[in-house]
Structure 1
Amino acid sequence: MFFVLLGVVAGLAHFYMWRRLVRDTTVAGGRGRRWGTVALVSAYVVMLGALGFGGEVALVAWPGYLWLAMMFYLTILLGIFEIPRVVLLRRRVKAPVLVGAEQQAEPEGTSRRVFISRSFALASGLTAGGLVGYGATQALGDPEITSVPVTLSKLDPSLSGFRIAVVSDIHLGPLRGRSHTERIVRMINEQQPDLVAIVGDLVDGTVDKLGEAAAPLKDLVSRHGSFFVTGNHEYYSGFEPWLLELERLGVNPLRNERVAIQRGGAAFDLAGVNDVAGRNFNDAPDFARTLDGRDTTRPVVLMAHQPVQVEDAAKHGVDLQLSGHTHGGQMFPFHAIVPVQQPVVAGLEKIDGTWVYVTRGAGFWGPPVRVGAPPEISMIQLSG
């Protein structure tokens, strides 16, 4: 249903773009209009192919997803330009049009209308292309290393300085493979963390197709191990085989359970709950099972893919929740839409007495584009 709805919305957007980029800038029956129409229809078909089976074919995924980003920004920019476009078109000033080496008069207003339409079409295209190009360099470049100090009142002073590498939304798939994982592992290991927390959406595909891409995770190095909780995309990719594969790679899944992380005589609890999408796969999050009966005198750090899970976490006395899912909005202005569903878009905030940290993620979903939300690996440093 999601892809059908997206296809309908994208179809309407392409019709709007055809009107502004093709119809308004060309002559009826001319070669330009025919080729412009063919180009837009072809782009729409390739985009649908990427949405439908681009997850299996990189050759389709790259152009289809890049055009999806172009369509998004072109539609927004053309919409923004509607007001100045209408204002200029209403001014009754005739402009000549250049044909060959001579100026020839056209019917009143025609040359001026075409000139204005072409100007706004060109401005929209150049701006959208610039945004997508910049966003692609951000999405495909190295993630930022973000240092995040967090004070937990219950933390034993001997655990101050404990460092957790948090990474989420790696999204291995047709556009991101083994080299992407190798880079993330290398960057995490360079930070020499005490613990690694992978908070969901590792993959967009099955173990058979992406097992090799995930294999470098076995090289993660930390003093207290690597841990994982499911994201919604794991449930679309066959979560049970992936949980077994991660165990084989030395990454420990936390499935509605907790473990004690000890250093010397001090400890805190590291807990993990399944993603909310697990409710549709008989694998729902269970906060009571995860957190009941623990020693409440020591802090608990919870791994939960979606920030919205902090509502339940706060009720169970969680001190710090580590999440991803939002991608920090990924492409401006989605930053303004995420709060409709999630309490935190990115960064550290306190919700109902519980700290929740949301990392922007190290990969991308859909278009290989990030605008205003560069990828990151977060280093949480705990203090008492």
Structure 2
Amino acid sequence: MKGLIPLIILLIVEFYSFQAIKTITKNKWVLGVYLVISLVAMLFIVYSFMNFERGKGQNKSSLFVIGLALLIYIPKILIFLVLFIEDVSRFVEACIMSFVDEDREQFFSPRRRFVSQIALGIAAIPFASLVYGMTIGKFNFKVIKQQIFFDDLPEEFDGTTITQISDIHSGSFENNTDKIKYAVDLINEQNSDLLLFTGDIVNTHAKEMDPWIDTFKGLYNPKLGKYSILGNHDYGKYFEWDSDKEENQNFEDVKAIHQKIDFNLLMNENVRLKKGSSEIVLVGVENWGVHFGKKGDLKKATANTKPEDFKIVMSHDPSHWENEIKNHDTHYHLTLSGHTHGLQFGIEIPGWFKWSPVQYVYKQWAGLYENAGRYIYVNRGFGFHAYPGRVGIMPEITVIELKKTKKDA
């Protein structure tokens, strides 16, 4: 019964989509080919979802099926909505006319061709967008630069630059070596003082990163170092392991990846970064999220820090900032997160407009946010997960410049 309701919905959507095509053309070959392709695609998608074991983790096949399902059914759902509205209109019209015109030969007026044309035109927009996202968008890396001003930033750190990347999800890359090498070169071109990675280096298995070790080892070594933390996917909790020993070994292997690519992994700990006679504190917490577990321990991570220290926190999930950090008794100046990917789908007009469905789940989901002089920057992610593409929300390399607020003389 669980699968019956979605199947009925799919059949209704398919029926309306066929009605749109049938209104446009009466060619039996066109209609026949459309029906065969639609039927084969629907059966393949339904079969794949019914046989997908979530505990086996994401793989190339699941990425393909999710992408195909979105590519086919988002446009068809829009067609359904347009034609359903037309049917409501036709029904109301028919009811009225049945009282006015007793000699009316048929209850419903014929489906209007121009409405079907409008429906197909509307459906073409997400179809083209999803195709773009799966072919070009997912590797359309953007460097986003952001200045943030602080009253108490140590003078010698004024102008310090940080490059942040997040959510690599190496298991989704397939064989796109040139694209990833280009992104690594783009990161190196920023030549920042500090390079930070804020979690989710794999989807599940440490071995996903094996083909990419040499590529990411090519990331430059900045003056202040390379530091990283873990994300929710790095713990391997989205896979049904044969034994605890196997799961624990995978986790150890994931942690070892960071050393292999020359990053210093911070697990509920902090380091002091020095410039001249000044220093700031970099805090790295394990994953803490409202929806995905609370491994992070902020108290442990900030051991031996002083209230007056300038603190930068790396915490993968922005819900940590919303629920603990932004109103904490200790002042945490800047938090760097990722996790949301901006849902890999939305609309952005830089400086003007920003929207994604993920904003209804996460209050901080992409870019810079502030509360009482405390800031969080949420990186849109380097890789992709589930949907094998990006529409509107592009993969991001963030460059943050720390600035000291200048007091009037």
If the length of structure 1 is used for normalisation, what is the TM-score?
Answer: 0.81
Tell me the distance in 1 between the aligned counterparts of 2:256 and 2:388: 29
In structure 1, which of residues 244, 253, 259 is the aligned counterpart of residue 265 of structure 2?
253
Q: Counterpart of 2:224?
A: 224
Question: Aligned-pair distance for 1:151?
Answer: 1.2
> Does 1:264 pair with 2:276?
yes
Q: Counterpart of 1:328?
A: 342
- Asked if the contact 1:136–1:369 (Cα under 8 Å) also holds between the matched residues in 2, the reply is yes
> Does 1:370 pair with 2:390?
yes
> Does 1:40 pair with 2:36?
no
Q: Counterpart of 1:318?
A: 332
- Asked if the contact 2:90–2:108 (Cα under 8 Å) also holds between the matched residues in 1, the reply is no
Give runs of aligned pairs for residues 110-121 of structure 1, distance below 5 A.
112-113=110-111, 115=113, 118-119=116-117
> What is the aligned residue count?
362
Letter paired with 1:322: L
- Asked if the contact 2:288–2:315 (Cα under 8 Å) also holds between the matched residues in 1, the reply is no
> Which consecutive unaligned segments of at least 5 residues does structure 2 have?
95-104, 238-249, 348-353, 405-409
> Does 1:339 pair with 2:363?
no
Is 128-137 or 252-261 further displaced after alignment?
Answer: 128-137
Q: Counterpart of 2:203?
A: 204
Is 267-276 or 73-82 further displaced after alignment?
Answer: 73-82
Q: Counterpart of 2:16?
A: 20
> Which consecutive unaligned segments of at least 5 residues does structure 1 have?
93-106
RMSD between superposed Cα atoms in Å: 3.5
Identity %: 23
Tell me the distance in 2 between the aligned counterparts of 1:318 and 1:351: 11
Tell me the distance in 1 between the aligned counterparts of 2:215 and 2:291: 30
> Does 1:55 pair with 2:58?
yes
Letter paired with 2:308: T
SS in structure 2 at match of 1:379: strand
In structure 2, which of residues 70, 88, 91 is the aligned counterpart of residue 68 of structure 1?
70
SS in structure 1 at match of 2:369: strand
Tell me the distance in 2 between the aligned counterparts of 1:173 and 1:119: 40
- Describe the shift of the 1:123–1:51 C-alpha distance in structure 2 as closer, same or farther (beyond 3 A): farther
Question: Aligned-pair distance for 1:299?
Answer: 0.8
- Asked if the contact 2:17–2:79 (Cα under 8 Å) also holds between the matched residues in 1, the reply is no
> Does 1:284 pair with 2:295?
yes
Letter paired with 1:284: K
- Asked if the contact 1:136–1:370 (Cα under 8 Å) also holds between the matched residues in 2, the reply is yes
Q: Counterpart of 1:156?
A: 154
In structure 2, which of residues 238, 254, 273 is the aligned counterpart of residue 242 of structure 1?
254
Question: Aligned-pair distance for 1:152?
Answer: 2.1
Letter paired with 1:18: E
Is 263-272 or 233-242 further displaced after alignment?
Answer: 233-242
- Asked if the contact 1:328–1:345 (Cα under 8 Å) also holds between the matched residues in 2, the reply is yes
